[in-house]
Amino acid sequence: MNNKTMTNKTVEAIKNGSNPTTEELFDLINVYEITMLSIQDKNHKTMTEMDVNHFASYKTEFEFGQLNTDTKCIVYQSDILSTESEWLQEEDMIHIKSSMSDSGYLNLVIFHASKGLKRTVSKDYYEISLFELNELLQKTSGDKPEYTCSIVKVKNKFGFHMRMVYPKHTFVDMENDDTHGELSIEDDVNFLKIAVTDDACNQFYQKDNDESVEIVIKPYSEPFMEIKMNFEKLS
């Protein structure tokens, strides 16, 4: 069962008022673009608040964090007494609330619940390595290029949007060990340069279409940024 199917089952259960398990509810963080986490004391005073898009379950702990960063919040599973959820249709949000052993509360608010799924949740996308990304970019240059980069879109949660149409340069400047490099994208107006590594610090996804290839990059230290690159096959 893929992530999208599991998400649909969990969301339908919330809508129908039948509460999924605590871990199933928390795991929604991994498929939505952004979730707001807050921890309140028994008087509902907010002690901690942060945006998250990553959740992991360990033997005794739950970890909430931001992708490709060291920013995280750890909660012991034994401290959670109960968890309930609610679909807020008019606001298009999901509210998840856990009662804690110290009489406080852990709240999760998922925004844009009807359409805010991460693009890469779709089964059409698969994760690739930095080496595979570099291989594709190399096929856009030389005497007989196989692809051309037709469009690049960059966005983040703060409203930043950048668009490059047929950028003149798209390449990775690799270091000697082939595990670290610098991705450069440039057109006549814009220039983007980010560090890339072949480990969990960043993520690369690929989607294959009949006449094109789509790449999605989640950069290191930019947990809510997404770079989408479309490559057209040349005849």
- Which CATH number do you get for residue 155? 2.70.180
What is the C-alpha to C-alpha distance for residues 232 and 149, in angstroms, rounded to an integer? Answer: 6
Q: What is the pLDDT of residue 122?
A: 80
Domain check: are 9 and 72 in the same one? yes
Q: Which of 59, 40, 56 is nearest to 48 (CA)?
A: 40
Domain check: are 159 and 217 in the same one? yes
Count of domains forming the chain: 2
Q: What is the pLDDT of residues 43-81, one digit of tens each?
A: 999 999 999 999 999 999 999 999 988 899 999 999 999
> For residue 77, what are the domain limits?
3-110
For residue 219, give the 3-state DSSP assignment: coil
Domain check: are 158 and 101 in the same one? no
Residue 117 in any domain: the answer is: no
pTM of the shown model: 0.83
